[in-house]
Amino acid sequence: MEQAISIRIIEQKDNADLAKTIRDTLAEFGANHPGTVYYDSATDHLFELFQNPLSVYFVAEMGGVLVGGGGIYPTEGLPFKTCELVKMYLLPAARGKGIGKMIIDTCLQKATAYGFEKVYLETMPELEQAMKVYEKFGFNYLEGPLGNTGHFGCSRWMLKNLQPSINVRFL
């Protein structure tokens, strides 16, 4: 029997479950090292973090149970009209069901609505499957990091343009 999937905005009651989901996922892939969100104290207080203007975090539920989430954040030091796709994690039971795509789609729509023109993200080689998903969404690799995330443990950086370039032809 298929379980209902829903995407909603984070609530304070989600903090502990999300922190566990993020840390368990990083540990699962051997990516629980210093310089990542695994050791970031903000991971335990995501509801509070996402009260900042132009930020939002979406929680995914499957059958009424929290199974992951992801959000956008106007990270300090990023180029003008650029936000960051942050804390995108799913429990194993939620993978392969299109939930990650639903979260990313929702985040990109909200980034556009907020007036952002580019979305940046940081990841690491251990999360190879996630990088493949980001590539499908049109994220391109960068040579180095942008902004001041403080996540020196991430060694892969990607950027997506939200606004398609317009080709103007004069007749």
Element (H, E) at 16: helix 15-28
Give the span between the Cα atoms of 73 and 56, in whole angstroms: 7
Name the E strands within 63-162. Answer: 65-73, 82-90, 118-123, 140-141, 156-161
Domain assignment present for 50: yes
Domain assignment present for 170: no
Angle made by CA atoms 15, 19, 23, in degrees to the nearest 5: 175
CATH number at residue 63: 3.40.630.30
Give the span between the Cα atoms of 129 and 93, in whole angstroms: 15
Domain assignment present for 167: no
Domain assignment present for 66: yes
Mean pLDDT, residues 95-117 taken together: 96
Domain assignment present for 171: no
pLDDT at 12 over 80: yes
CA proximity to 47, closest of 65, 35, 59? 59
Domain assignment present for 78: yes
Domain assignment present for 67: yes
Q: What pLDDT score does 78 carry?
A: 95
Name the domain count of the chain: 1
Domain assignment present for 153: yes
Give the span between the Cα atoms of 124 and 148, in whole angstroms: 17
Q: What is the pLDDT of residues 24-83, one digit of tens each?
A: 999 999 988 888 888 888 999 999 999 999 999 999 999 999 999 999 999 999 999 999
Q: What pLDDT score does 167 carry?
A: 52
Q: What is the pLDDT of residues 134-170, one digit of tens each?
A: 999 999 999 999 988 887 888 999 999 997 555 555 5
Range of the domain at 57: 5-161
Q: What pLDDT score does 77 carry?
A: 94
Q: What is the pLDDT of residues 82-101, one digit of tens each?
A: 999 999 999 999 999 999 99
Amino acid at 120: Y
HEC string of the chain?
CCCCEEEEECCHHHHHHHHHHHHHHHHHCCCCCCCCHHHCHHHHHHHHHCCCCCCEEEEEEECCEEEEEEEEECCCCCCCCEEEEEEEEECHHHCCCCHHHHHHHHHHHHHHHCCCCEEEEEECHHHHHHHHHHHHCCCEECCCCCCCCCCCCCCEEEEEECCCCCCCCCC
